[in-house]
A and B are shown apart, each in its own frame.
Chain A
Amino acid sequence: MYKYDAYDHALVRERIEEFRDQVARRLDGRLTEDQFKPLRLMNGVYLQLHAYMLRVAIPYGTLNGPQLRTLAHIARRYDRGYGHFTTRTNIQFNWPALVDVPDILDHLAKVEMHAIQTSGNCIRNVTADPFAGAAADEIEDSRPWAEIIRQWSTFHPEFTFLPRKFKIAVNGARDDRAGIRVHDIGLQIVKNEAGETGFEVWVGGGQGRTPRLAQKIRDFLEPRDLLSYLTAILRVYNQHGRRDNLYKARIKILVEALGAEEFGRQTEEEWADIREGELELPAAEIARIRAFFDRPSVSKAQPVPVSGKPGFAGWLRRNRRAHQVEGLSSVVISLKPVGGTPGDITDDQLDIVADLAERYGFDEARATPDQNLVLPHVRNEDLETVWDALVAAGLATANAGLATDIVSCPGLDYCSLANARSIPIAQAISSLVEAEGLAEPVGDVTIKIDGCINACGHHHVAHIGVLGVDKRGEEFYQITLGGAFGNDASIGGIVGKGLAGEDVPGAIVRVLKTYLEIRDENERFIDTLRRVGADAFKESIYVAA
């Protein structure tokens, strides 16, 4: 894991002291809310329905034990005993007082964390594969590149006031688990014919009210050119992105207006002027950053256990992932207990994950875009001990990738932008799916729920998406089918008119039952859906509505 140097520490410290002074000036009236709002947002402080919300950056989703323990302390001391992991692999605290935020940032700085660039029209936290450095299907570890991008983009003066927020994803495995097709820039690590690694460059993806999949503008970018090429893309966007209309300001709108080919041409033209300059990455610097991300080794590899206590085998089957090092496994810690709030975790649970990461996980954990956690490196002989501890902590739900592993934005229960509630819908769906015994028979399926069109819950790229809308004071929910996140990314289509909230769980369950009736042998939900089309499920959604 990357370790701050003196420059990093000084940068974060200076920002905290600056913000502490800004908070003091706001509290004594020297700053108005209009003056203060952009300053607090630059430090991750939003004002939501009930309270301030602090969004803490988790760089490319990586955490260690001391960091998890600090998050637990913040949840316990300054919040209401829990935090909420987001689809962008950050963590949000829903109840901090403004007067406490500078102290919270002090705690975070001690463990090399901050809330910088978690809001505003800047380059946000980079997304990477949560199994990076561990996945069996990895081409190359994406974390060093995500860290290089983090350092380059932090407080970047040219890109602090972009037309809109800007999100970059880096994926280094064959399976895209970072979502490169739904980010402003997606970087896929590939090998060329000579066996050298570089990047495919995708631009113009995003969700929100105008969902678009990114398009490829370069087949192979040499690693040394990464920062100059990103700079060229950002310059084209900064120059031509629309600032006159909030809803047309993202790069996806520009790429669509120009066409990917023309956008790529302009990028290459800009790049030609800067590629040989100071942005070229020296091999020594790449090696220095890579050295922070050592792969753990095992002296005597043990096999994955084939038996154990009741429930252990099922958890292994659903929540374990193959590791690139013999003798190690990765495990998903589900934050989706049936009927629970997706992504929520208590202070005590954070402490337990910290313990497990330190004792059995080479001091590493990851946050995932599915609002779960991962222990990326666990010795096979420790798997049952880890599972025992997770069971005791209420963190051993064996449902990774199942219909109860639902992604949900905070929705109208917390968010000032939301039109409808989303968490209670997720809770009701997972409870009904469980009661009907459908999760295991259905197998892999993604269900994602949003309380507004901004789509923080990624409903556009869910096999089954649910979008809450407000119609004259009442909540209704549109169902989308056929979206996907990853190599086969697609945008789901709205099936028909919206449903009342109480009708949504039944409709989803009927969709799942329809799939079980019409699927071919060993066919996944999304494959059946693509084979037969969404109309085949329409009747099941509306039959009883």
Chain B
Amino acid sequence: MKAITANRLTDGRVIYRTAEGQWSSRLDEAEHLDGDAAEARLAQAEAEFGIAVGPYLIDIEDERPGGQKWRREAIRLTGPTTGSTREPA
């Protein structure tokens, strides 16, 4: 399965496209897509002006990022693994 991800225009944070055509910071709210439907939905997202920058498809396996880019997408989802990030003051 696939999902569509992007970065939010105002602050660059990671977002996922929902079935309603909205954007959420939660992967579990992302629409799961397959085959031609995924490509069509991505084309739609790319054509819209909105809050998303650079939408693209990612693989989803067992509700988590999958495929060869799984680690990159897991880090995008959960943040750096360096143990040194802090939440905004």
Contacts and interface: CB of A to CB of B under 8 A. Distances in A.
A412 B84 contact: no
Interface in B1-48: 7, 9-14
Interface of B: 7, 9-14, 49, 53-54, 67-72, 75-76, 79-89
Q: Is the interface of B mostly helix, strand, loop or mixed?
A: loop
B81 A413 contact: yes
18 contacts: A27-B10, A47-B53, A50-B14, A50-B80, A81-B86, A81-B89, A82-B86, A97-B10, A412-B72, A412-B75, A413-B81, A421-B81, A427-B83, A470-B68, A472-B68, A473-B68, A473-B70, A473-B71
Interface residues of A, number: 35
A341 interface: yes
A220 interface: no
Contacts of A79: 88
Interface string A12-50: 000000000000001101001100000000000001111
B82 A29 contact: no
A123 B88 CA distance: 34
B86 A52 contact: no
A424 B81 contact: yes
Given A33-B53, A475-B71, A49 B13 contact: no
A80 B85 contact: yes
Given A33-B54, A50-B14, A472-B68, A427 B87 contact: no
A242 interface: no
A486 interface: no
Interface in A191-227: none
A76 interface: yes
A49 B54 CA distance: 11
A456 to B, nearest CB: 16
A340 interface: yes
Nearest to B46: A33
A529 to B, nearest CB: 30
Contact of B9 (A26, A341, A413): A26
Interface in A219-245: none
B75 A413 contact: yes
Interface in A405-425: 412-414, 421, 423-424
Contacts of B9: 26-27, 98
A351 B85 CA distance: 19
A401 B10 CA distance: 41
A354 to B, nearest CB: 18
Nearest to B84: A341
A508 B62 CA distance: 36
A423 B75 CA distance: 13
Contacts of B49: 29, 32
Contacts of B85: 80
Given A50-B76, A413-B81, A414-B80, A97 B12 contact: yes
Contacts of B87: 80
A145 interface: no
A134 B67 CA distance: 53
Contacts of A47: 7, 12, 53-54
Nearest to B85: A80
Given A29-B49, A344-B84, A427-B82, A49 B75 contact: yes
A340 B84 CA distance: 8
A79 B89 CA distance: 8
